[in-house]
């Protein structure tokens, strides 16, 4: 093994010049002729004598918490495409833990040949800028060209033709580099890459990681590195490379999965929106194995890192996004249970919502999402948006892992209305006041929901050369919430939600392919299939406007005690269920007294057939199948004693099959299909709970709030506001201007002053944010 140590660079010119241009660590945007490399590396030597870092996540007082050297730390960090110009902003805001992006192939020079001086210099310079800095490096595992040239049989092969201009973009494009030896904006285009099923790639990459960790442990940086975040793939988030071209027909993947179905078999279904297991079992089985391979590769790297660090440091990954996960069959995360159950992962990270609206405001921005009937569902980013999480965070908490929200809202300091990458600030982000409200919502949500977070500043890659957060008012706003986070150390972060949305990821193996719904003209986010978009991505917009806290979790994380915790459950996409899963659901729900909303075709897909009888047994309704394609739109007509009926059309203006109609004479009719007089929305008592069936999505907020009242759950806000809460903290974001009454589950006081009480009468402007905390 050949290695060059960082201390050999002291006083030297640069050994980095021996590297190819794209590996050279100095940013093309921020080359500094006055920069003294030797001085930066001396900052590492000055750490000598400091004890090695001990970092861990422990579950205490209601949820996972971060501990460094035995002391609990509020889990809030920062990163940027270019940390050199932005680290000073973060330091002023009180953030000393950074998540620097480092390109490992900048130091992986050949077989068993490593030189980590580029990354050493990067860390040294950051320490020069902030001597109190700690690092959780995001280590990019993109494969070096020399390795790919040496192992052509280990590379990805695609089922569809690939464009020549997307093969090896690192050679063919002159891209800006980050300070840590990584190309931003490149990994999303790369197609010439190693298969995740390649045992050779796993072995060689793991050997490289062990050498890098050994290098850090033998240097004084071992007191400042708190863990590692391995990643690769499209967008550098373990999304499979080249999903548009149907990976992966390589020899390694065929060894792992067996025969891989032809491209057209993957793209088409034989039963409309669904796959028929009797005819398409090979496709369903392939996708299951394919995603197991991806998860196994992620865990292989995590295990390597945990072993190399003697389990003293953190390891976390991007994985498990369900909401707004584009290209889900090829690039999604459909083996999440294996990831969550791994002892080698301490946290899971995920960028928060990116969904734009499908209608434009007066400025031409796409802000709000509406359904096919024009019902307002909500907005994601911008002032008054929900800032929702794309991960099912309650599942992460139940597995004892820290959830970290990646937040990248642009601010008024970015002068380009069409940003290059990331950071869609949303409506009013071009103003100072709008930028502050968005940050209050995002940072307040981290505090109120008991999770962790990091701010990702893409500003230097756009028009804000010193960063999106480089003004005193913005820095002061961030610092206020960093300081607020210290109250977490005395708080209980247990869930207090009585409402849950439950999802089944394996159902995506058995539903129409994401390419089937082109051209995505009204989706707000492209490259998603019908169920992912309307049932998951868009339904959650109105979930966030229920006006009460909600939990979001996978069906495999349901527990028998949830029948007592929750009074209302939305079973959103429980299409493909095993017999054991159906039995467990029935046992949990029986005599629970809760209200359960079943969407579309719960339990209809078995392992070897389409089974209407299972769907009827699970829900208690009798159904018939409508095979003629028709609008996925319902004419709701809900009778409310003492009030006017709630008459509301909702759903999707698109024709699909199959649809289902309730033919049960004992149920209450709540709505009919738009184009035929068949019941599509109904309710009945079943086995000791209230069973509700709805044939389409999304349900708008008025119907959701009616269901909450039917379940006898108190609405926290008298308006359809965004409400987040844990045992000792709460947040409300006003979705419209005016007065509302906020009724908390216990007495709390506003963090900006006022008495501790349960009921708060608030006169709020649109998008205004109020945070409450228990008084100790």
Structure token digits, residue 599: 């969407």
pLDDT surpasses 80 at 537: yes
**pLDDT value of position 302:** 98
Q: Tell me phi and psi for residue 227, to 5 degrees.
A: 165, -170
By mean pLDDT, which of 18-27, 214-223, 727-736 is the weakest?
18-27
**pLDDT value of position 16:** 35
Q: For 101, which DSSP code? A: E
pLDDT surpasses 50 at 17: no
* Residue that is written with structure tokens 């459909």 in the block: 334
Q: pLDDT by residue (tens digit) across 114-140?
A: 999 999 999 999 999 999 999 999 999
Q: pLDDT by residue (tens digit) across 22-51?
A: 333 344 434 454 567 888 889 999 999 999
CA–CA dist 201, 155 (Å, integer): 9
**Would you tell me the crossing angle of helices 612-619 and 579-589 to the nearest 10 degrees?**
20
CA–CA dist 5, 752 (Å, integer): 51
Share of the chain above pLDDT 70, in %: 91
Mapped to the 3 state alphabet, what secondary structure does 396-420 carry?
HHHCCCEEEEEECCCCCCCCCCCCC
Query: Exposure string (b/e) for 509-542, b if CB count within 10 Å is 16 or more?
Result: bbbbbbbebeebebbbbebbbbbbbbbbbbbbbb
* Residue that is written with structure tokens 């991505």 in the block: 537
Beta bridge partners, 637, equal: 647
**pLDDT value of position 415:** 64
Q: pLDDT by residue (tens digit) across 634-682?
A: 999 999 888 899 999 999 999 999 999 999 999 999 999 999 999 999 9
Mean pLDDT of 393-412: 97
**pLDDT value of position 484:** 97
For residue 81, whether the previous peptide bond is cis, meaning omega lies within 30 degrees of 0, is no
Burial (Cβ within 10 Å: 0-12, 13-18, ≥19) of residue 591: exposed
Q: pLDDT by residue (tens digit) across 484-515?
A: 999 999 999 999 999 999 999 999 999 999 99
Beta bridge partners, 348, equal: 317, 403
Mean pLDDT of 78-102: 97
Alpha-carbon dihedral sign for residues 357, 348, 217, 48:
positive
Report how far apart, in Å, the C-alpha atoms of 612 and of each of 584, 588, 615, 617 are.
Answer: 19, 21, 5, 9
Listed residue (439, 454, 426, 352) closest to 393, CA to CA: 352
Q: For 348, which DSSP code? A: E
SS3 765: coil
pLDDT surpasses 80 at 164: no
Listed residue (376, 330, 386) closest to 353, CA to CA: 386
Mean pLDDT of 262-282: 97
Across all residues in the chain, what is the average pLDDT? 92
CA–CA dist 738, 740 (Å, integer): 7
Check: CB of residue 55 under 8 Å from CB of residue 226. yes
Greatest Cα-to-Cα distance within the chain, rounded to the nearest angstrom:
86
SS3 375: coil
Highest-confidence range of 275-279, 416-420, 750-754, by mean pLDDT? Answer: 275-279
Q: Which residues contact 114 (CB under 8 A, 6 or more apart)?
A: 1, 2, 3, 4, 107, 108, 208, 211, 212, 215
Band of residue 434 on the pLDDT scale cut at 50, 70, 90: very high
CA–CA dist 618, 629 (Å, integer): 25
Listed residue (468, 457, 460, 470) closest to 28, CA to CA: 460
Listed residue (441, 480, 453, 525) closest to 722, CA to CA: 441
**pLDDT value of position 9:** 34
CA–CA dist 157, 194 (Å, integer): 9
* Residue that is written with structure tokens 């063919």 in the block: 172
pLDDT surpasses 70 at 423: no
Q: pLDDT by residue (tens digit) across 335-359?
A: 999 999 999 999 999 999 999 889 8
């Amino acid at each position: 093994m050949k290695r060059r140590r960082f201390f050999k660079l002291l006083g030297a010119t640069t050994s980095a010049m021996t590297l190819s241009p794209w590996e050279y660590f100095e940013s093309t945007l921020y080359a500094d002729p006055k920069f003294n490399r030797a001085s930066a590396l001396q900052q590492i030597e000055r750490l000598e004598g400091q004890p090695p870092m001990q970092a861990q996540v422990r579950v205490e007082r209601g949820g996972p918490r971060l501990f460094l050297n035995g002391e609990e730390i509020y889990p809030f960090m920062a990163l940027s495409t270019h940390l050199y110009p932005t680290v000073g902003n973060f330091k002023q805001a009180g953030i000393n833990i950074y998540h620097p992006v480092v390109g490992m192939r900048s130091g992986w020079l050949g077989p068993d040949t490593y030189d980590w001086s580029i990354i050493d210099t990067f860390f040294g310079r950051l320490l020069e800028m902030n001597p109190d800095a700690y690092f959780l490096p995001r280590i990019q595992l993109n494969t070096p060209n020399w390795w790919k040239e040496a192992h052509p049989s280990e590379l990805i092969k695609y089922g569809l033709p690939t464009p020549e201009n997307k093969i090896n973009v690192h050679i063919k494009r002159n891209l800006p580099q980050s300070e840590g030896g990584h190309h931003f904006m490149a990994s999303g285009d790369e197609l010439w890459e190693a298969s995740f099923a390649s045992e050779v790639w796993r072995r060689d990459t793991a050997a490289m990681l062990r050498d890098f960790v050994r290098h850090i442990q033998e240097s004084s940086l071992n007191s400042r590195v708190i863990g590692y975040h391995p990643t690769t793939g499209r967008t550098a988030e373990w999304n499979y490379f080249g999903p548009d071209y149907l990976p992966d027909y390589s020899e390694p993947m065929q060894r792992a999965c067996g025969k891989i179905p032809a491209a057209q078999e993957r793209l088409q279904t034989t039963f409309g929106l669904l796959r028929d297991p009797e005819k398409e079992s090979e496709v369903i089985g392939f996708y299951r194995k394919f995603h197991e391979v991806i998860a196994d590769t992620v865990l292989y790297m995590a295990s390597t890192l945990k072993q190399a660090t003697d389990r003293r440091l953190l390891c976390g990954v991007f994985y498990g996004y369900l909401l707004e996960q584009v290209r889900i069959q090829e690039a999604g995360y459909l083996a999440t249970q294996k990831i969550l159950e791994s002892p080698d992962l301490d946290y899971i990270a995920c960028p928060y919502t990116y969904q734009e609206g499908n209608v434009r405001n007066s400025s031409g921005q796409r802000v709000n999402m509406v359904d096919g009937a024009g019902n307002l569902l909500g907005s994601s980013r911008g002032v008054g948006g929900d800032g929702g999480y794309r991960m099912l965070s309650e599942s992460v908490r139940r597995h004892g892992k820290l959830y970290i929200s990646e937040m990248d809202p642009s601010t008024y300091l970015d002068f380009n209305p069409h940003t290059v990458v990331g950071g869609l600030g949303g409506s009013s982000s071009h103003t100072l006041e709008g930028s502050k409200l968005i940050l209050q919502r995002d940072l307040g949500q981290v505090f109120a929901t008991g999770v962790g977070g990091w701010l990702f500043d893409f500003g230097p890659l756009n028009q804000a050369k010193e960063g999106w957060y480089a003004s005193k008012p913005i820095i002061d706003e961030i610092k206020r919430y960093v300081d607020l986070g210290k109250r977490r150390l005395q708080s209980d972060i247990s869930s207090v939600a009585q409402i849950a949305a439950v999802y089944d990821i394996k159902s995506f193996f058995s539903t129409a392919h994401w390419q089937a719904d082109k051209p995505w003209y009204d989706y707000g986010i492209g490259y998603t299939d019908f169920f992912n978009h309307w049932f998951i991505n868009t339904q959650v917009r109105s979930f966030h406007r229920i006006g009460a806290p909600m939990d979001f979790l996978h069906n495999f994380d349901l527990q028998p005690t949830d029948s007592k915790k929750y009074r209302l459950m939305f079973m959103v996409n429980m299409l493909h269920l095993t017999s054991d899963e159906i039995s467990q659901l029935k046992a949990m729900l029986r005599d629970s007294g809760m209200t359960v909303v079943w969407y579309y075709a719960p339990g209809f897909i078995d392992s070897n057939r389409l089974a209407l009888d299972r769907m009827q047994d699970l829900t208690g309704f009798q159904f018939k199948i409508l095979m003629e394609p028709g609008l996925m739109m319902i004419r709701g007509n809900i009778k409310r004693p003492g009030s006017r009926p709630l008459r509301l059309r909702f759903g999707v203006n698109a024709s699909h099959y199959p649809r289902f109609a309730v033919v049960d004479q004992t149920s209450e009719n709540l709505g009919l299909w738009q184009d035929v007089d068949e019941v599509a929305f109904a309710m009945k008592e079943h086995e000791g709970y209230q069973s509700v069936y709805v044939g389409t999505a999304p349900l708008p907020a008025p119907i959701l709030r009616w269901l909450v009242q039917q379940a006898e759950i108190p609405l926290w806000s008298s308006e359809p506001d965004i409400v987040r809460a844990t045992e000792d903290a709460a947040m409300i974001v006003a979705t419209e201007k005016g007065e509302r009454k906020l009724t908390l589950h216990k007495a709390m006081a506003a963090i900006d002053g006022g008495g501790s009480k349960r009921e708060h009468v608030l006169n709020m402007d649109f998008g205004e944010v109020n945070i409450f905390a228990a008084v100790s």
